[in-house]
């Protein structure tokens, strides 16, 4: 039986939020000297079943028309998309593979690391309300790259919808037991909910101070109206007040809108002002975000938005913070247990 990993419930410095007076310099600074892409996906549709990619198109997809990504996306594709940048390592986040194949995804990704050198850390999937959650997590923990899970609770479709009841919501006792199991085993929780659920998420994070909550996609500020952004900022501030929370600057693409300083600058700057440089990580969310913008556009626009930061501060966002939080394994060192090799999927 594997030993629990070293506790990941790090206490991060809590930042006092002050109104930002910074102006965005639209001249792009030099490229990051190194990058860890802290959130991306891979899939091989010829061999592996992802219902949302192979069955009927999912309506109201976050990034609009996603026909362009209903194809194989392997480590060499990510390397190609990021070829202009010094991509050193990456973190793969579960890609909604079929429920019966969750452990197989971790095994397959470990083999991709052996072949291609990417990914270097794995965020897998286990339903947190599974009665056997601990044993399922321990199965994933046999793989050296495994760091934690992203398991999405059931959430409302809009801010105006009535509060949900029933199973698989954040207040569900069975779900909370699963969250506590992550804490017990020293794992990480990649936490993804819409912006209007962030305050509720903060209550969960407060109950488990030894568990690091990694807020995905900057808290998903999809509604960019003044009212929507006010709700988002308030939720982000409540989360950031807890020392066991960090955030990814990712998944900000909006269907039909360009990825520019004008569309993304305020949200990115607010995220950094709220959480602080030491608790923010760059992530591409490729290939889903490629439905709106290419890798070069996202990175170069972020560099323009972050132009008032020092080179060392930008390095924290693009590399050092993800290295400290996810502990990625350099190419060739994350060997798959021999008994679990799946040669047919290479």
pLDDT confidence of 59, banded at 50, 70, 90?
A: confident
pLDDT of res. 20: 42
Considering the domain boundaries, does residue 20 fall inside one?
A: no
Provide the domain limits for residue 167.
Answer: 35-330
Phi then psi for residue 214, to 5 deg, are: -105, 105
Considering the domain boundaries, does residue 102 fall inside one?
A: yes
Considering the domain boundaries, does residue 95 fall inside one?
A: yes
pLDDT confidence of 180, banded at 50, 70, 90?
A: very high
Q: What percent of the chain shows pLDDT beyond 70? A: 88
**Which one is predicted more confidently, 49 or 341?**
49
pLDDT of res. 296: 98
CATH (domain of 213): 3.20.20.140
pLDDT of res. 15: 54
Considering the domain boundaries, does residue 28 fall inside one?
A: no
Compute the mean pLDDT over every residue in the chain, rounded to the nearest whole number.
90
Q: Is the per-residue pLDDT at 298 higher than 60?
A: yes
pLDDT of res. 8: 46
Q: Provide the number of structural domains found in the chain.
A: 1
pLDDT confidence of 309, banded at 50, 70, 90?
A: very high
**Which one is predicted more confidently, 29 or 204?**
204
Q: Are 194 and 154 in contact (CB under 8 A)?
A: no
> Beta strand 87-93 with 121-124: parallel, antiparallel or unpaired?
parallel
- Give residue-wise pLDDT tens across range 227-283: 999 999 999 999 999 999 999 999 999 999 999 999 999 999 999 999 999 999 999
C-alpha 253/C-alpha 301 separation (Å) is 12
Structure tokens that stand for 12 in this block? 């991060």
Q: Are 122 and 110 in contact (CB under 8 A)?
A: yes
Mean of pLDDT values over 131-151: 98
Q: Are 257 and 224 in contact (CB under 8 A)?
A: no
């Amino acid at each position: 039986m594997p030993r629990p990993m070293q506790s990941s419930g790090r206490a991060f410095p809590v930042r006092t939020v002050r109104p930002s007076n910074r102006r965005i310099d639209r001249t792009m600074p030099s490229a990051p000297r190194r990058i860890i892409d802290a959130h991306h996906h891979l899939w091989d549709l010829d061999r592996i079943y992802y219902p949302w990619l192979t069955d009927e198109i999912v309506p109201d997809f976050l990034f609009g028309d996603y026909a362009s990504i209903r194809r194989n996306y392997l480590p060499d594709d990510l390397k190609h998309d990021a070829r202009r940048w010094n991509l050193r390592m990456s973190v793969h986040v579960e890609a909604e593979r079929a429920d019966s194949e969750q452990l197989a995804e971790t095994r397959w990704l470990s083999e991709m690391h052996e072949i291609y050198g990417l990914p270097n850390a794995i965020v897998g999937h286990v339903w947190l309300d599974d009665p056997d959650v601990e044993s399922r997590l321990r199965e994933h923990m046999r793989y050296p790259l495994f760091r934690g899970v992203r398991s999405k609770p059931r959430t409302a479709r809009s801010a105006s919808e009535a509060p949900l009841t029933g199973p698989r919501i954040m207040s569900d006792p069975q779900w909370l037991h699963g969250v506590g199991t992550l804490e017990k085993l020293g794992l990480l929780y990649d936490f993804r909910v819409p912006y209007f659920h962030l305050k509720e998420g903060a209550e969960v994070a407060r109950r488990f101070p030894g568990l690091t909550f990694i807020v995905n996609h900057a808290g998903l500020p999809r509604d960019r109206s003044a009212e929507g952004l006010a709700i988002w900022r308030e939720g982000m501030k409540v989360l950031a007040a807890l020392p066991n929370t960090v955030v990814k600057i990712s998944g900000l693409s909006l269907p039909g809108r360009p990825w520019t300083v004008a569309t993304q600058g305020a949200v990115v700057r607010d995220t950094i002002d709220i959480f602080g440089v030491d608790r923010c990580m760059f992530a591409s969310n490729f290939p889903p975000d490629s439905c709106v913008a290419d890798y070069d556009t996202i990175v170069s626009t972020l560099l323009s938005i972050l132009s008032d930061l020092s080179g060392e501060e930008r390095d924290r966002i693009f590399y050092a913070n993800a290295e400290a939080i996810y502990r990625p394994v350099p190419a060739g060192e994350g060997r798959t247990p021999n008994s679990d090799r799946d040669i047919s999927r290479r």
